[in-house]
């Protein structure tokens, strides 16, 4: 290779690679595919330019070559994915995939994105999604979210008017906006699920309905946007949490912690589907927050008994999650997982370091987690103090009852 040629290619690479790569990523929505296309285009450039000389606009040449490669890869990827989908979705789900991707379904996807448009406030997004795509009436949604029906109705009318008058488009967002908009859709579905999943004294039948709706909508996303691993992660996360619904509440409404749940009451077909989805999602090698949370839930689900739980793997998953989601809750859970994997002192040190700047002082779960570790370490007096701090800070009646029970137990032990 001549020095001129090498210099030309180096210059193109330095000046243009960022722009070209960004374009490829936008078009393919895949860093991997974009990078692969870029590399291949450069190799092709070397070959062609050595024979025919350097083109007038080397950047444009590489862009065009890389785009051609990309189209090939995307085609290849699509074939592979549709093949996988058929392999993995045997059994009852099969019917969903056999349905033709009709214009009606395209419309449904457009509608999800319209309802969850970030120009609408989140309450409106949730309400519209449930009202237009879910099977709930305005009255039911109002009851589930504990707002007066007239308030909700007004909110929905206002949102629908805004969609019309500000002309919020009825479309699946263009590729360059898709990722951001999709995360807004995912957040809405997860909020709906969590509203149903949160143990409270509300209408329990309606709460189950909300979870079921959220799962149904997440399933639609998976079907309509095949190949998106975070959609799969979200559905898996919901399925795995929901599989414990009958085991996490005592008949008197008392909260039963994961550790103490009767695992025979978990819904194992849901667990199996959740685990399958997590594996399929993680196979895409683009881990996101929902996938990792689902993977953690899957590790819990796989344990025959609480003592069998693979806490080392859970701690490892939390450290990956902490790298993409810097929230105190994630750090707190990571510390608990480390403690539970046998490193009690190390876990407690991490929690204390987290609490050192006092940001978490008013967060009841911080005190509850700390109390729990102290109890396991046999430091009853310190544990009792932390349980009391947690109790002062929570407003959830069921959590309050759980903490009271712990405090009573520990006081009993101390007397003895």
Q: CB-wise, 124 or 236, nearer to another protein?
A: 124
Name the token pair of 21.
């790569």
- Compute the distance between CA of residue 220 and CA of residue 217 in angstroms, rounded to an integer: 5
Q: CB-wise, 119 or 329, nearer to another protein?
A: 119
Q: CB-wise, 117 or 244, nearer to another protein?
A: 117
Shortest spacing between CB 167 and another protein, in angstroms: 5
What are the φ/ψ torsions at residue 172 (nearest 5 degrees)?
A: -75, 130
Q: CB-wise, 91 or 169, nearer to another protein?
A: 169
What are the φ/ψ torsions at residue 249 (nearest 5 degrees)?
A: -130, 125
Q: CB-wise, 79 or 177, nearer to another protein?
A: 177
What are the φ/ψ torsions at residue 255 (nearest 5 degrees)?
A: -75, 130
Which residues would be at the binding site for another protein (CB under 8 A)?
A: 117, 119, 165-169, 173, 177
Q: CB-wise, 22 or 250, nearer to another protein?
A: 22
- Compute the distance between CA of residue 375 and CA of residue 145 in angstroms, rounded to an integer: 36
Q: Mind giving me the DSSP string for 25-94?
A: HHHHS-HHHHHHHHHHHHHHHHHHHHHH---S-HHHHHHHHHHHHHHHHHHHHHHHHHHHHHHH--GGGH
Q: Mind giving me the DSSP string for 257-299?
A: -GGGS-GGGS-HHHHHHHHHHHHHHHTTS---HHHHHHHHHHH
């Amino acid at each position: 290779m001549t020095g001129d040629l090498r210099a030309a290619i180096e210059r193109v690479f330095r000046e243009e690679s960022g722009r070209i790569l960004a374009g490829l990523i936008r078009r393919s929505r895949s860093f991997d595919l974009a990078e692969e296309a870029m590399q291949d285009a450069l190799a092709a450039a070397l070959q062609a330019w050595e024979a025919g000389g350097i083109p007038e606009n080397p950047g444009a040449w590489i862009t065009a070559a890389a785009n051609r490669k990309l189209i090939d890869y995307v085609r290849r990827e699509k074939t592979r994915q549709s093949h996988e989908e058929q392999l993995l979705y045997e059994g009852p789900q099969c019917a969903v995939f056999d349905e033709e991707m009709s214009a009606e379904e395209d419309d449904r996807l457009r509608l999800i994105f319209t309802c969850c448009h970030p120009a609408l406030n989140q309450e409106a997004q949730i309400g519209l999604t449930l009202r237009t795509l879910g099977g709930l009436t305005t009255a039911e949604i109002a009851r589930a979210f504990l707002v007066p029906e007239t308030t909700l109705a007004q909110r929905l009318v206002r949102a629908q008017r805004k969609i019309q008058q500000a002309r919020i488009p009825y479309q699946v967002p263009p590729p360059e906006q898709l990722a951001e908009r999709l995360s807004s859709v995912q957040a809405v579905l997860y909020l709906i699920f969590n509203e149903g999943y949160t143990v409270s004294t509300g209408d329990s039948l309606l709460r189950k309905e909300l979870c079921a709706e959220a799962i149904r909508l997440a399933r639609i996303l998976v079907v309509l946007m095949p190949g998106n691993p975070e959609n799969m992660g979200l559905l898996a996360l919901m399925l795995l949490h929901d599989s414990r619904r009958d085991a996490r509440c005592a008949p008197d409404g008392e909260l039963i912690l994961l550790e103490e749940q009767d695992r025979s009451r978990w819904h194992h077909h849901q667990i199996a589907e959740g685990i399958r989805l997590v594996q399929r999602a993680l196979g895409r090698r683009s881990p996101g927050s929902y996938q990792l949370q689902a993977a953690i839930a899957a590790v819990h689900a796989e344990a025959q008994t609480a003592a069998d739980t693979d806490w080392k793997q859970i701690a490892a998953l939390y450290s990956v999650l902490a790298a993409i989601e810097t929230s105190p809750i994630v750090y707190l859970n990571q510390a608990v997982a480390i403690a539970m994997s046998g490193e009690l002192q190390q876990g407690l040190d991490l929690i204390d370091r987290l609490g050192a700047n006092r940001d978490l002082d008013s967060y009841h779960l911080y005190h509850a987690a700390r109390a729990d570790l102290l109890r396991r370490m046999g430091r009853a007096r310190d544990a009792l103090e932390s349980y009391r701090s947690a109790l002062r800070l929570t407003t959830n009646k069921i959590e309050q009852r759980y903490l009271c029970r712990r405090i009573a137990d520990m006081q009993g032990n101390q007397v003895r």
